[in-house]
Amino acid sequence: MSEDASEMYVFIPAGYRGAPKDMYVREDYFDGMSDYEFSQIMDELEPYQPMLSARADRKAKKAQRRADRKAKREAKRSTSRAAQRQAAKLERIKARQAGKTERAAMGGGFGGALDKIGGIASNILGGGAGADQGIDAGIDGSIDFSAGDMQAPKKNWIPWAVGGAVVVGGLIFVLTRKK
């Protein structure tokens, strides 16, 4: 990347805006100015520049450098850790949703299993299908293991499950302790 050093400088003639003598100034000296001021000064200095094609090349190179810096900043923003974490989170959510739809199609997952067990227990203990008809109604005492009505899992089953486990644990403790 060998570029002529004179391409990076702008010629300013003596007397231009108080310049004491002819001089060359680096182009990045003008970076602090607004685009409007820079273009106005460059238009005024254009007739004094020794190589007009070099000026166009300098402008193109400067524009390219600015575009490269902007692209680099954008690339850095798009690959930030926060953006990566957000994308990974969205993928996990989509995978979880896909798993829920599969479980719902197969019978509701763990909640569906609890509903089935509850239905079986109610059939055994009474209160299930035909409970109000009594023994004489022709119930043969068999247990129905078919799915029956598919119900959605109950929303608040966790507190009931924890409470049931505490009750069962308490019963085991009371029955097995030394007296």
Where along the chain do its domains lie? 5-78, 81-131+142-176
Least-confidence region, from 20-29, 63-72, 78-87, 90-99: 78-87
Q: Which of 127, 125, 107 is nearest to 116 (CA)?
A: 107
Q: How far apart are CA 154 and CA 163, in angstroms?
A: 15
Convert the pLDDT of each residue in 14-36 to its tens digit.
Answer: 888 788 888 888 888 888 888 88
Q: How far apart are CA 163 and CA 96, in angstroms?
A: 28
| pTM for this model (two decimals) | 0.27
Cβ(158)–Cβ(167) below 8 Å: no
Six token digits for residue 30: 């003008």
Query: Beta partners for 11?
Result: 24
Strands (E), the chain: 9-12, 23-26
φ/ψ of residue 44, rounded to 5: -70, -35
Q: How confident is the model at residue 2 (pLDDT cuts 50, 70, 90)?
A: very low
